[in-house]
Amino acid sequence: MGIRQDRSGRWRAELKSGREYVAGRTFDTKREAEAWLSRERASLAGGVDPRAGKVLVRKAFATWLVDREGTVAIKTTKADRSVLKALPPGVANLHVNRVTDREVQRCINDWSRRYAESTVKRYRATLMAFFASCIHERMITVNPVSRTRVPAQLTPAAEMMPFSRQELGAVRDEIAVLNPALADAVWLAGWTGLRWSELREVRVADFVEVPVPRLVIRRAQPEGIGTKRPKSGRTRHVPLVDAVLPLVKSMTAGKGPNDLLVTTENGARLYATAFKNSTHWAETGRGRRLHDLRHTAACLWLEAGVSPTTVQAWMGHADLKTTQRYLHYLGTSADETGLSRLNQWGRAGGARPAGEDQ
């Protein structure tokens, strides 16, 4: 039968393929031994080799990373490697076929206490892909990640804090005293909504004047990663208002078509840390992130009356709901009407609220 009781009173189950020993485990009860043997026989009959699943998760994961390299983006490869470093020993040192959804859920809960929710979701997706490959390699039959979930975190996400037009001008003036070239970069980012990775990769040839002056955003270069497509995966056209058009023209002076449009005073590519140090961003930025310059452009456009669908195209948003966040930030016409009525109390014969001093 493959099950026997040893001298200690425990039950030993042994799986064989013909006469060849495949795997074995010892249990406290005969029922547990029978259940395990039944599962392993079913796996073996389905083409799953229990011996293959005896490799440690950390070793199998490292092998998977090597096989995966070159088939995904460099950024994805780096994120995958960070998952291996973040795996708790309780999972990393288990055999692949011993990992259950309970161990994975405990791992995810631990991550949720240390990382942002978006990071945990990305880590979980990587684990899902890893164990899916284990199924493909016939090491296991069920993905232990599929029944897990990422707990919702109570910590609020970072809110957008766009500059007003006056604030943006003041920030530019303050930075111009320290570094005129970087002040120009701030002004351009605040009026075009370019992501930082796009701002540091836009080329002179991407500036087009006919039929309307605009920047054609074809590429991005996140720091530490090679050139790639923009986040949306599509090319987009961003018009240039009169407030920045002369600046962009001056940026092209003496440069070739393939040269970087936005650079430091020495003509070098922008880097966030160096930028923040040179501009004293902790003070001049008024508590904003660099990404808030992108939010600033969207708000300026909408304030000027540009339609949300047009702003969606200029920003490269895949979903109009993303663009509508800025409308909620700016307030609606109903908000303006309500505020106007509140401000009219007691004016021009308007009724005063009860209890107001005469």
pLDDT over 60 (residue 234): yes
Phi, psi of 6 (to 5 degrees): -90, -175
**20 and 77 fall within a common domain:** no
**224 and 279 fall within a common domain:** yes
Looking up tokens 């790639």 gives 228
**202 and 325 fall within a common domain:** yes
pLDDT over 70 (residue 156): no
- Taking alpha carbons only, the member of 252, 266, 236, 239 closest to residue 203 is 252
- Per-residue pLDDT, 48: 57
Q: Is residue 90 part of a domain?
A: yes
pLDDT over 60 (residue 355): no
pLDDT over 60 (residue 23): yes
Rounded CA separation 106/89 (Å): 12
Q: Is residue 149 part of a domain?
A: no
What residues are paired with 56 via a beta bridge?
Answer: 95
Q: Is residue 353 part of a domain?
A: no
**31 and 62 fall within a common domain:** no
**43 and 96 fall within a common domain:** no
- CATH number for the domain harbouring residue 192: 1.10.443.10
**45 and 92 fall within a common domain:** no
User: pLDDT-derived band of residue 44, with 50, 70 and 90 as boundaries?
Assistant: low
- Contacts of residue 37, Cβ cutoff 8 Å, sequence gap at least 6: 2, 3, 13, 14, 15
Cis preceding-peptide flag for 211 (omega within 30 of 0): yes
Mean pLDDT of 37-57: 71
**309 and 292 fall within a common domain:** yes
- Per-residue pLDDT, 20: 74
**125 and 33 fall within a common domain:** no
Distance set, CA 95 to CA 27, 88, 101, 305, 318 (Å)? 18, 14, 14, 60, 41
Phi, psi of 64 (to 5 degrees): -60, -40
Return the H-helix or E-strand segment holding 138. none
pLDDT above 70 covers a percentage of the chain that reads 90
Q: Identify the residue with better confidence: 190 or 352.
A: 190
Domain of residue 102 covers: 57-136
Mean pLDDT of 66-81: 85
Q: Is residue 84 part of a domain?
A: yes
Q: Is residue 253 part of a domain?
A: yes
User: pLDDT-derived band of residue 206, with 50, 70 and 90 as boundaries?
Assistant: very high
**123 and 257 fall within a common domain:** no
Mean pLDDT of 216-222: 94
**298 and 181 fall within a common domain:** yes
Rounded CA separation 99/174 (Å): 57
Burial class of residue 283 (count of CB atoms within 10 Å of its CB; 0-12, 13-18, 19+):
exposed
- Per-residue pLDDT, 267: 93
- Per-residue pLDDT, 51: 62
Rounded CA separation 215/228 (Å): 17
**62 and 22 fall within a common domain:** no
pLDDT over 80 (residue 174): yes
When mean pLDDT is compared over 19-28, 72-81, 89-98, the highest value belongs to 89-98
Q: How far is CA 138 from the centre of its chain?
A: 32
Mean pLDDT of 183-205: 97
**227 and 300 fall within a common domain:** yes
Mean pLDDT of 59-68: 92
User: pLDDT-derived band of residue 50, with 50, 70 and 90 as boundaries?
Assistant: low
Rounded CA separation 333/338 (Å): 9
User: pLDDT-derived band of residue 45, with 50, 70 and 90 as boundaries?
Assistant: low
Q: Is residue 156 part of a domain?
A: no
Mean pLDDT of 40-49: 66
In whole numbers, what is the pLDDT of the chain averaged over residues? 88
Q: Give the per-residue SS3 of 266-306.
A: CCCCCCHHHHHHHHCHHHHCCCCCCCHHHHHHHHHHHHCCC
The dihedral sign for the CA sequence 198, 199, 201, 206:
positive
- Which of 40-49, 285-294, 334-343 shows the lowest per-residue confidence on average (mean pLDDT)? 40-49
Residue 236 tokens read as: 């987009």
Rounded CA separation 77/65 (Å): 8
pLDDT above 90 covers a percentage of the chain that reads 59
Q: Identify the residue with better confidence: 278 or 72.
A: 278
| Cβ atoms of 134 and 52 closer than 8 Å | no
Mean pLDDT of 266-279: 95
Residues 78-86: contacts with CB within 8 Å, 24+ apart?
78/224, 78/225, 79/122, 79/126, 80/126, 82/123, 83/123, 83/126, 83/127, 84/58, 86/111, 86/115, 86/123
Euclidean distance between the first and final Cα of the chain, in Å?
A: 98
Q: Is residue 249 part of a domain?
A: yes
Q: Is residue 355 part of a domain?
A: no
User: pLDDT-derived band of residue 316, with 50, 70 and 90 as boundaries?
Assistant: very high
Report the domain count for the chain: 3
Rounded CA separation 289/294 (Å): 10
